[in-house]
Every structure is written in structure tokens, then in C-alpha cells.
């Protein structure tokens, strides 16, 4: 197709089949839940395969306090694993201003490429309280883990 000046070209991808590699062998996996609005996809792994679990489990993202210390875990630029300290800067409820219309909180540290999809944990108990999402100005936006618990 030929693009005219000022035109937008949109590419839509349709996922026909999703595979998960287990020791180099591709195994089909099934989609359990997806939401474009929440920007999440949850898959069922084959029953014969178990992933090592994050040892501390899920926390309660509704009980965060302003200024509370958190740890952001990510894989920046797909080069290395990085953990850094941040603090809860403000809360955002679904329906209020939010970069992606989900509930969450801003932290006083920006996210870098490769952080999205990673986790944010409380510094005091290491429980997962959010999924790293995006940046807004100089603040990182973290989606509340509580809104996803029903899908896990």
C-alpha cells in the first residue's frame, strides 16, 4: 500500500498459535485471559511443566502509603537484571487520570526500556504489589497487582 502525506499506516497482528519452549522443545500453550484495556495476557502452561515461583507471593496493592519504599525489578534493554529503589509518589484509581486507564500508582523513579512487564515489590516484605507499565513525565507508572489477582 502507498502512504499519502499525513496518513497513518496501521499494522494488525493476529496471534494464530503461541508456543513456550521447554528445554528447547516448542510446546503449545493456551490463552487463559486477555484484555487490551488492561494490557495483559495470561497463559496456561502445560500441566507437566512448573516454573520456579517467586518466593514471596502477591501482596496487597490497596494498602500502599505515600512515600513507601518499593523495589522495581526489570530487565533493561534486555541486557541485565536490575533492581532499584523507588517510593510511592501517588495513587491512581481506575477511571481517574492514568496513562493506560488502569488503577495503579506512580513511583518517584522512571522506568527504562525493558522494565515493562517486570514487577514492583514492597521493600519491607518483598511481596509483589504491581506490574511495571510505563512512564509519565519523570514518574514510573505501576499497575496495581490486586486488579489482576482474579486472573491468576
Whether the pLDDT of residue 74 is over 90: the answer is no
> How many separate helices (H) and strands (E) can be counted in the chain?
0, 10
pLDDT of residue 35: 76
- Condensed to tens digits (0 to 9), the pLDDT of residues 75-84 reads 876 677 788 8
Q: Which secondary structure element, helix H or strand E, spans residue 128, and what is its range?
A: strand 128-136
22 vs 79: which has the higher pLDDT: 79
pTM for the whole structure: 0.71
Least confident piece of the model among 17-26, 30-39, 118-127, 128-137: 17-26
State the average pLDDT over residues 109-123: 87
Which string of DSSP letters, residue by residue, matches 81-111?
-EEEEEEEEEEE-TTSS-TTSS-EEEESS--
Residues 6+ apart with CB under 8 A from 65: 88
Q: What confidence tier does 6 reach under pLDDT thresholds 50, 70, 90? A: very low
Residue 99 vs residues 24, 68, 102, 148: alpha-carbon distances, Å:
37, 21, 8, 17
Least confident piece of the model among 41-50, 71-80, 100-109: 41-50
Amino acid at each position: 500500500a502507498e502512504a499519502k502525506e499525513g496518513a497513518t499506516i496501521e499494522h494488525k497482528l493476529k496471534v494464530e498459535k503461541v508456543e513456550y519452549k521447554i528445554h528447547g522443545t516448542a510446546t503449545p500453550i493456551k490463552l487463559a485471559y486477555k484484555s487490551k484495556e488492561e494490557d495483559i495476557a495470561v497463559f496456561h502452561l502445560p500441566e507437566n511443566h512448573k516454573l520456579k515461583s517467586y518466593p514471596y507471593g502477591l501482596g496487597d496493592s490497596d494498602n500502599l502509603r505515600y512515600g513507601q519504599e518499593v523495589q522495581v525489578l526489570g530487565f533493561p534493554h534486555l541486557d541485565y537484571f536490575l533492581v532499584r529503589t523507588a517510593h510511592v509518589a501517588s495513587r491512581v484509581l481506575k477511571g481517574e487520570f492514568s496513562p493506560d486507564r488502569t488503577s495503579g500508582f506512580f513511583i518517584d523513579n522512571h522506568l527504562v526500556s525493558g522494565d515493562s512487564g517486570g514487577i514492583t515489590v514492597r521493600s519491607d516484605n518483598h511481596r509483589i504489589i504491581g506490574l511495571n507499565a510505563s512512564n509519565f513525565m519523570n514518574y514510573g507508572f505501576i499497575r496495581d497487582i490486586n486488579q489482576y489477582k482474579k486472573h491468576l
